[in-house]
Chain A
Amino acid sequence: MTGLLESLGQHLTILPILLPLVAGATMLLLHERQRRAKGIISILAAAASVAAATSLLLTVNDPLTSEVVVYRLGDWGAPFGIVLVADRLSVLMVLVTNVLGATAMAYALGRWATLGPRFHTLYLLLLMGLSGAFLTGDLFNLYVFFEVLLAASYGLLLHGSGKRRVKAGLHYVAINLTGSLAFLVGIAVVYALLGTLNMADIAVQATLLGPADLSLLKAGLGLLGVAFFVKSGAWPLSFWLPTTYSAAAAPVAAIFAVMTKVGVYVILRLATLLWPAGQALEFYGSSWLLYLGLATVIYGSFGVIASTELPRAAGYLTLVSSGTLLAVIASGDVAVISGALYYLVGSTLGIGVLFLLCELVSRGHAEAPAAVGPVFSDDFETALASEFEGVERGVTLPLTTTLLSTAFFLIAIQLTGLPPLSGFVAKFAMLSAVITSGANGYANAPGALAWWVLGVIVASGFAALIALTRHGVKQFWAGADTTPTAVRPFEALPVALLLVLLVALTAFAQPIMRYTAATGAGLRSPVQYLSSVLPNPEAPATPEGEH
């Protein structure tokens, strides 16, 4: 038994990738009618991934063990083989992804999973792609995991079909395919210059480049940046995002909230590896990251106020969240990054819950989304016809509306950044660090810029407050004459669990902030990351003229 546990511990890093992959592939063998079996398998796989991510987090946070766990695929060492790297940042991201993934999956089992074929498989593959993108230490492997998660997300976005989803899907696929091509060109340029695709090795080799090659490298990184900015929804590349997210089915939109954070994560990872500590994170050789982030926050805030539908407002809130992160991490200060990571956890979970609530709230007002024609017609009709008739009403909980409005109230407090929930703590930590790091934080930017960042982010909180108050009034007061909302306990439970987690995030702010502070410190002096991935970073392992 201990032997088994020990070997399981050795392979812990790859479990968040393998578990959903195996479970998802297994479910392709089951018929669409075996929905109970599918539901159980997918919940078990997602829960096991959460457990694996949690124990991985405890491992990297344990002062007695190494804070960077390197898993060599096929036992080939870096930089020749592909490695998975679990450090504090990637493990935190994997945990947030899987917690939101597992709860949104549980929510979906009540109703959404019955709306079309192969929902569970696609959902688990999306989780696999997300975990893989966070864990990999290789640039091309990152591209592959990006494609895995994108391919799954294309299918999930179309889940339930309908004109609105297909129209949004067309734009979503087109822009993401183009973004992936920019990603590939960037990878090719980086490989041509450095002869390596391992992220740690890229960081080492980039220091040895001459000035002429360095500008070409910056161009290559700029192309990579375009792909990541499309993902994270930075301003001029984000017009597709609110439409897409509001068209997607509720549990799908909830997990899509993590997808914008993939872009932020990769930018943070590469920028901290490539630009040494004490400098602002540049990524392009100028302060673009900061200005793009601010522009995104401003655009998102206007969008939040202008939206007449709640899901659309939630889509714009996603933009505000990732814009805030981009603008703030550009500072490169350890304390700022620490606050930003704490903000990331709270805002990602918060937006996820908001997307779930949107659907529960609007259920009383509008009829169930009309499934027009199926896109894939094979076993769609049997699934739809057999079960969907009887379950339309569900069990009407007493006090449903009260509970829903309480949940909505909590989420509004979280997302606007009012005390006492973690949104406030996070913004306070972030912005006070921005001010105290002052001009040092934004090295290339004028000194007053920190106050601009503060002003824009606080103003975005006001915009969210106005919009969410208005939507709350519309949904819970003005709409009181409509039929009571039917919420099944199956669906209320995941939402309640996520709300409890948000409260816990506030209550245990101190240990969590200690963790994110250690994460920030590890990111700004990536010695441990480099020495763990590369056996001997001083003498680059690539012999001269290897390619």
Chain B
Amino acid sequence: MEVVLALGIGVLTAAGVYLVLRPRTFQVIIGMSLLTYAVNLFILSMGSLVIGGAPVLAEGADVSKFADPLPQSLVLTSIVISFSMTALFLVILLAARGLTGTDHVDGEEARP
């Protein structure tokens, strides 16, 4: 479980970093989304992984059988924020495409 999650986060981050550094705006936004997924998974894993445990504590129960609720609430916040930021970025991307006539991140094609 831990290995699968760690590999998943690693692959998503690597792909995201590669795409963010590409010159096309669409690649950048996809890379940003992948990075966001990786970070969200990372936050979730920081509360240590528990399978089938409820995130609500009962009185006198064994704490190790429950999932940590705080990373779950943090990740919810960060999902909402990063989703809206991606939407905003998409608008700017479209405006830049319309105004500059190119999808290069610098607004002009690189000179050969």
Contact = CB atoms under 8 A, between A and B. Distances in A.
Interface centre among B64, B70, B84, B106 (most CB of A within 10 A): B70
Nearest to B73: A140
Interface string A55-72: 000000000000000000
A18 B84 CA distance: 22
Contacts of B63: 545-546
A171 B36 contact: no
B85 interface: yes
Contacts of B106: 167
A314 B96 CA distance: 25
Contacts of A185: 39, 42-43
A185 B74 CA distance: 12
B43 A184 contact: yes
Given A166-B99, A192-B46, A545-B64, A181 B36 contact: yes
A44 interface: no
* Residue picked from A151, A161, A167, most chain B C-beta under 10 Å: A167
B89 A140 contact: no
Could you say which interface size class chain B belongs to? 35 or more
Contact of A166 (B47, B77, B96): B96
Contacts, number: 101
Which of A140, A144, A170, A545 is most buried by chain B, counting CB atoms within 10 A of its CB? A170
Interface residues of A, number: 36
A302 B88 CA distance: 34
A154 B92 contact: yes
Contacts of A192: 46-48
B8 interface: no
B13 to A, nearest CB: 9
Given A545-B64, A546-B63, A373 B98 contact: yes
Contacts of B98: 373
Contacts of B78: 143, 184
B85 A151 contact: yes
Nearest to A184: B39
B92 A163 contact: no
A25 interface: no
Interface string A162-199: 11001101110110011011001101110110000100
Contact of B92 (A140, A166, A180): A166
B107 interface: yes
Contact of A373 (B25, B28, B71, B99): B99
Given A140-B74, A178-B32, A188-B71, A147 B85 contact: yes
Given A192-B46, A547-B47, A170 B77 contact: no
Interface string B67-80: 01011001001100
Nearest to A547: B68
A163 B99 contact: yes
A22 interface: no
Contact of B70 (A174, A177, A191, A372): A191
B42 A188 contact: yes
B10 to A, nearest CB: 13
B71 A144 contact: no
B interface SS class? helix
Contacts of A184: 39, 42-43, 78
A122 to B, nearest CB: 12
A202 B98 CA distance: 47
A174 B64 contact: no
Interface string A66-89: 000000000000000000000000
Contacts of A166: 92, 95-96, 99-100, 107
Nearest to A190: B46
A144 B92 contact: no
A191 B46 contact: yes
A156 interface: no
A286 B28 CA distance: 33
B84 A174 contact: no
Contacts of A197: 70
Given A144-B77, A167-B106, A174-B32, A375 B64 contact: no
A169 B92 contact: yes
B81 A147 contact: yes
Nearest to B57: A546
B15 interface: no
Looking at B36, B82, B95, the one whose CB has the most chain A CB atoms below 10 A away is B95
A356 interface: no
A167 B107 contact: yes
Given A140-B77, A154-B92, A174 B99 contact: no
Interface of A: 140, 143-144, 147, 150-151, 154, 158, 161-163, 166-167, 169-171, 173-174, 177-178, 180-181, 184-185, 187-189, 191-192, 197, 372-373, 375, 545-547
Given A147-B85, A187-B43, A192-B48, 19 more contacts: A143-B78, A147-B81, A162-B99, A166-B92, A166-B99, A167-B107, A173-B89, A177-B89, A178-B32, A180-B85, A184-B43, A188-B74, A192-B46, A192-B47, A373-B99, A545-B63, A547-B47, A547-B68, A547-B70
Interface of B: 20, 25, 28, 32, 35-36, 39, 42-43, 46-48, 63-64, 68, 70-71, 74, 77-78, 81-82, 84-85, 88-89, 91-93, 95-96, 98-100, 105-107
